[in-house]
Amino acid sequence: MKKWGKRLRITAIAGLALILVLLGSGVVYQQVGKRNDLNNFTPPGKLYKVHGENMHLYTGGQGDVTVVLASGWGTANPYVDYYPLYEQLAPYTKFAVYDRFGYGYSDVTDKKRDVDTIAEELHELLETSGQKPPYILVGHSLGSLETLRYAQMYPNEVKGIVMIDGGSPEHYAKDEDNLADVIGGFMNQFRIQTGLFRLSLQSEPVLEASRANRNNLKFVPDELKQVDTTALLLNYGNANTVDELREMNANATVVMNNTKPLSVPLTILTSDYFGASEPIWDQSQAEFISWSTQPKHVTIKDSEHYIHQYHPEQVADEILELVEK
DSSP 7-76: HHHHHHHHHHHHHHHHHHHHHHHHHHHHHHHHHH---SSEEEEETTEEEEEEEE--SSSEEEEEPPTT-S
Rounded mean pLDDT, 34-57? 93
Rounded mean pLDDT, 40-45? 94
Of the pLDDT bands very low, low, confident and very high (cuts 50, 70, 90), residue 106 is: very high
Percent of the chain with pLDDT over 90: 75
Rounded mean pLDDT, 272-289? 94
For 111, which DSSP code? S
Task: Examine residue 134 and say whether the peptide bond preceding it is cis (omega within 30 degrees of 0).
Answer: yes
Q: How far apart are CA 124 and CA 113, in angstroms?
A: 16
Residues 6+ apart with CB under 8 A from 266: 160, 161, 162, 163, 288, 289, 291, 292, 294, 295, 296
Between residues 217 and 25, the one the model is more confident about? 217
Q: Residue 97 pLDDT more than 80?
A: yes
Q: In what order do the strands lie in the sheet with 46-50?
A: 46-50, 53-60, 94-98, 66-70, 135-140, 158-164, 262-271, 292-300
Q: Residue 192 pLDDT more than 90?
A: no
Q: What is the pLDDT of residue 5?
A: 59
Find the angle CA(155)-CA(167)-CA(303) to the nearest 5 degrees: 120
Residue 94 near residue 166 (C-beta atoms within 8 A): no
Between residues 161 and 26, the one the model is more confident about? 161
Q: How far apart are CA 269 and CA 248, in angstroms?
A: 21
Q: What is the pLDDT of residue 17?
A: 52
Q: How far apart are CA 227 and CA 88, in angstroms?
A: 21
Q: Residue 19 pLDDT more than 70?
A: no
Q: What is the pLDDT of residue 32?
A: 75
Rounded mean pLDDT, 189-211? 86
Q: What is the pLDDT of residue 29?
A: 64
Between residues 10 and 182, the one the model is more confident about? 182
C-alpha closest to that of 68 among 168, 170, 154 = 154
Q: Residue 267 pLDDT more than 80?
A: yes
Q: How far apart are CA 72 and CA 145, in angstroms?
A: 10
Q: What is the pLDDT of residue 16?
A: 55
Between residues 175 and 309, the one the model is more confident about? 309
Q: What is the pLDDT of residue 186?
A: 81
Rounded mean pLDDT, 185-193? 84
Residue 34 near residue 71 (C-beta atoms within 8 A): no
Q: What is the pLDDT of residue 7?
A: 59
Of the pLDDT bands very low, low, confident and very high (cuts 50, 70, 90), residue 198 is: confident
Q: How far apart are CA 191 and CA 187, in angstroms?
A: 6
For 297, which DSSP code? E
Residue 242 near residue 184 (C-beta atoms within 8 A): yes
Q: What is the pLDDT of residue 212?
A: 92
Residue 141 near residue 179 (C-beta atoms within 8 A): no
Of the pLDDT bands very low, low, confident and very high (cuts 50, 70, 90), residue 15 is: low
Rounded mean pLDDT, 119-124? 98
Q: Residue 190 pLDDT more than 90?
A: no
